[in-house]
Amino acid sequence: MDFEQNNNLSGPVESQSSEAVPGLDRHSRATDTTRKGIGWKIFWGVVLALSVLANAALFLILIGLLTVFAARPKRAFTEDVVREGPRSNKIVVINIEGLINVEQAESVYRQLKAARQDEHVKGMIVRVNSPGGTIAGSDHIYQEILKFREEQGVPTIAFMQNMAASGGYYTSVACEKIVAEPMTITGSIGVIMGHLVLKELLEDKLGIKAVILKEGDKKDWPSSFRVPEPNELQYLQERLLTPAYERFVQVVAEGRKESLTPDEVRPLADGSIFFAQDALDVGLIDQVGYLDEAIELVKSLAGIKKAQVVEYHEVFSLATFLSYRRPNSLVLGKAVLHELSTPQILYLWKAY
């Protein structure tokens, strides 16, 4: 009897003991899950904090860089050494490259301004690689070179590289001597003007007719909306091309007076182009050679034996970057229309 009771007692005890284990497991798993959740929160909190710190550091660095760039002059130049030598004797190379226009003239002006501020400059080489361009840009560069020579009193020579035709030659004769590489194309002394007549395209193809109101018979000479009459062409020839041509001839006669008389210049001013040796034979240049020969000529004229040869390059500035504005399509359309309808009077070798 007692034995049976003991058995009955032991049964429930074992049953209770076996039911308690699953409960403990569930509690343990819940505790582990809570701990893992807290761990992930700590991890992502650390990542977020580091991200905020990194962004703050990058922001401060950006502010520092902007401050450095903004502190630079809007148009600053750096010197690149072309040939090693004593810095007390410098020969500066001024570059004229590509089509000559107002922007090119402004670049030459800034280069010459930098050269004026350097007391060690003993000579200058104007390196020209250009087919020419606008008459105003060419004449502006020509005048700036003459002004530099007069003010600084240092020997200045032109070095023609690859091409120095028309306006490129116009600027070169501002120098006291001209050296050209053997395969340089030069000459093309003359002036050219042209514009498009769009009458047939607009009326016959597109059905568009232009309506022009004007006061003054010559106000729309020349017009892109009709074929010019002979008297219009003669007027433009007399008022624009002939004065520009005579100016070119005069400039060459003055710049090459040691090699050519005014009467000898005019036969060469028919737009003809020359390689360097042919240009030398007719007196348009003084020497055929390369940059080293040009450097030696400047040193000889300056009376120095050694010199450091440098050229200027424009450095990046924040002001320049921010001042750049990309034109929208409307502005571009107006620019193209103006380009097509406005005659261009050029010192330019048109084969370029």
Indicate if 36 belongs to the active site.
Answer: no
Contact 135, 99 (CB under 8 A): no
Apex CA 306: angle with CA 305 and CA 311, to 5°?
130
Q: Which are the contacts of 334, defined by CB distance < 8 A and separation ≥ 6? A: none
**What does the alpha-carbon distance between residue 191 and residue 193 come to, in Å, rounded to a whole number?**
7
**What does the alpha-carbon distance between residue 225 and residue 147 come to, in Å, rounded to a whole number?**
43
What is the separation, in whole angstroms, between the first and last Cα of the chain? 127
Indicate if 41 belongs to the active site.
Answer: no
Quick check: bond before 222 cis, omega within 30? yes
Q: Which of 41, 219, 257, 350 is catalytic?
A: 219
Backbone angles phi, psi at 211, to 5 degrees: -115, 120
Instruction: Identify the residue whose tokens are 């020839």.
Output: 237
Q: Which of 107, 130, 138, 166 is catalytic?
A: 166
E strand spans, 14-155: 77-83, 90-97, 121-130, 132-134
Taking Cα atoms as reference points, which of 50, 121, 126, 58 lies closest to residue 87? 121
Apex CA 173: angle with CA 170 and CA 175, to 5°?
135
Maximal C-alpha separation, the chain: 153
Instruction: Identify the residue whose tokens are 């076996």.
Output: 18
Contact 83, 294 (CB under 8 A): no
Question: Would you please indicate which residues are annotated as catalytic (active-site) residues?
Answer: 166, 219
